[in-house]
């Protein structure tokens, strides 16, 4: 065994040198947990630790029960170093780095369908408007059983989605089983699909805006949504519900733009890192997208990072009522540092603070009105008789044409109005805005 190490001595020294240079270039420092309150580690100690790493690395290469590639070992070591710092710092290999850029950019080559997994096959939740899947006639509830003739059974949802994505203009054949019919093939040509991070619709006189993530499309989606709802409801508009529940965050600049959309002035967020000179403050610009209409922001334990920045800014400026449950409490800033070889690292570099100076980290945003997650259930029981049930009851007096027709039940995704009939938090938010609007109307009159 000694002779083996002797023959590879030069290789070890070279590897140590490469590793040391890589660490310096990447801007990393190996620091003991207590070193922040003590004198920095000397160069001699740093070299000693790098020598130790080199010894462990070479021993694993030579003696591990199965052969392991150098790249795999080094990337695992780097990732271990980063993940030991905090839960959000990590190494991004080529695939992870590409996936991260797809998520933040908000567009990719694909088909344009929202899907879920059901009994081992892919179920279409909804085709996205004006996408290849919608134009090909895909419908909510369709079951996809094969991709290019290969069965989906055995694949995870993520694996199936990855196969449906691909280069723009490339083709794929989906085998679809629709209720009551035989399986049939649907050829689809992939195109650029924009991830829709903002959805909006009216619930009576209330504008409902759902933000699922903060990517490059978020602010433009918000602008379109608020403008469309304002135009649709006109003077009847009571206000807006901004739903940030289960929104994991995303791009900081988009969170700032969304906050700025509803604020005329004042600080939106500040960040403070290791160096006090690197502290940054961002302020709002004049203009309120909602024209002063009341806002209710929905949050829960799944609202994190960028979502908490928006909720905290609107809460501190008393621009919105925050309703729901305590948010996640991720108040740290991650910087993506590209590295040679189309890889990168995600490194925590600062903390977020709300305009009043509150740190979001580990505490989160406390709602102004705490409303637990619950579902509304209609009570059954004996139906009580009403005037309309009495024999020979007088007619209403209105013509049959003036009666409002019942709303058809849409297929696929339930509407916001339908969700508000079961979603307790959303129902409370809508009722709150209706009440504020009614009160203002009565005060004016």
Q: Active-site residues: which are they?
A: 305, 316, 330
Measured CA angle at 264 (ends 313, 235), to 5 deg? 105
3-state helix, strand, coil in the chain (%, to 5): 35, 25, 40
- Residue 126: helix, strand or coil by DSSP? strand
| Dihedral angle computed from the Cα positions of residues 42, 44, 46 and 48, in that order, rounded to the nearest 10 degrees | -150
Q: Taking Cα atoms as reference points, which of 265, 242, 424 lies closest to residue 321?
A: 242
Calpha distance 161→167 (Å, rounded): 14
Place of tokens 């705490």: 370
Q: Taking Cα atoms as reference points, which of 125, 120, 98 lies closest to residue 109?
A: 98
Calpha distance 115→346 (Å, rounded): 29
Eight-state DSSP code of residue 375:
B
CB 111 within 8 A of CB 190: yes
Identify the helix (H) or strand (E) that includes residue 209: strand 206-211
Place of tokens 């691909």: 166
Identify the helix (H) or strand (E) that includes residue 276: none
Cα→Cα distances 303→42, 108, 227, 261, 355, Å:
42, 25, 25, 19, 18
Calpha distance 437→424 (Å, rounded): 20
CB 137 within 8 A of CB 113: no
Q: Tell me whether residue 250 is exposed, middle or buried, using C-beta atoms within 10 angstroms of its C-beta: 0 to 12, 13 to 18, 19 or more.
A: buried
CB 319 within 8 A of CB 264: no
Task: Please state whether beta strands 321-324 and 295-299 pair in parallel, antiparallel, or not at all (unpaired).
Answer: parallel
């Amino acid at each position: 065994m000694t002779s083996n190490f002797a023959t590879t001595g030069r290789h070890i020294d070279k590897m140590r040198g490469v590793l040391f240079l890589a660490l310096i270039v990447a801007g990393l420092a190996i620091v003991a947990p207590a070193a922040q309150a003590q004198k920095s580690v000397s160069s001699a100690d740093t070299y000693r630790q790098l020598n130790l790493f080199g010894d462990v690395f070479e021993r694993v290469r030579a003696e591990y029960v199965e052969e392991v590639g150098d790249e795999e070992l080094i990337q695992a070591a780097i990732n271990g170093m980063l993940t030991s710092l905090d839960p959000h710092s990590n190494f991004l290999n080529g695939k992870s780095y590409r996936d991260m850029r797809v998520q933040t950019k908000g567009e990719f080559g694909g088909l344009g369908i929202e899907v879920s997994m059901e009994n081992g096959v892919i179920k279409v939740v909804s085709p996205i408007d004006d996408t290849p899947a919608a134009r090909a006639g895909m419908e909510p509830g369709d079951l996809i059983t094969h991709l290019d003739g290969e069965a989906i059974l055995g694949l995870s949802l993520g694996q199936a989605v990855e196969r449906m994505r691909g280069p723009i203009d490339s083709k794929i054949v989906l085998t679809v089983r629709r209720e009551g019919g035989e399986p049939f093939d649907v050829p689809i040509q992939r195109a650029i699909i924009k991830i829709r991070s903002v959805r909006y619709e009216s619930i009576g006189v209330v504008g409902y805006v759902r933000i699922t993530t903060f990517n490059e499309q978020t602010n433009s989606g918000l602008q379109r949504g608020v403008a469309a709802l304002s135009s649709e409801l006109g003077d009847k508009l009571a206000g807006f519900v901004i739903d940030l529940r289960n929104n994991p965050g995303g791009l900081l600049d988009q969170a700032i733009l969304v906050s700025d959309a509803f604020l005329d002035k004042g600080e939106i967020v500040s960040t403070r890192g290791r160096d006090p000179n690197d502290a940054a403050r961002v302020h709002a610009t004049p203009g309120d997208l909602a024209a002063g209409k009341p806002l209710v922001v929905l949050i829960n334990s799944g609202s994190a990072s960028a979502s908490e920045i928006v909720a905290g800014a609107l809460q501190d400026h008393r621009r919105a009522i925050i309703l729901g449950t305590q948010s996640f409490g991720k108040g740290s800033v991650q910087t993506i540092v590209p590295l040679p070889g189309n890889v990168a690292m995600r490194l925590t570099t600062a903390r977020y603070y709300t305009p009043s100076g509150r740190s979001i980290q580990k505490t989160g945003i406390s709602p102004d009105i705490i409303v637990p997650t619950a579902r509304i259930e209609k009570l059954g029981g004996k139906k009580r008789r009403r005037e309309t049930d009495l024999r020979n009851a007088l007619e209403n007096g209105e013509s049959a044409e003036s009666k409002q027709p019942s709303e058809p039940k849409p297929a696929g995704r339930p509407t916001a109005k339908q969700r508000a009939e079961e979603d307790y938090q959303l129902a409370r938010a809508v009722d709150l805005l209706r009440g504020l609007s009614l009160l203002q109307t009565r005060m004016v009159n």
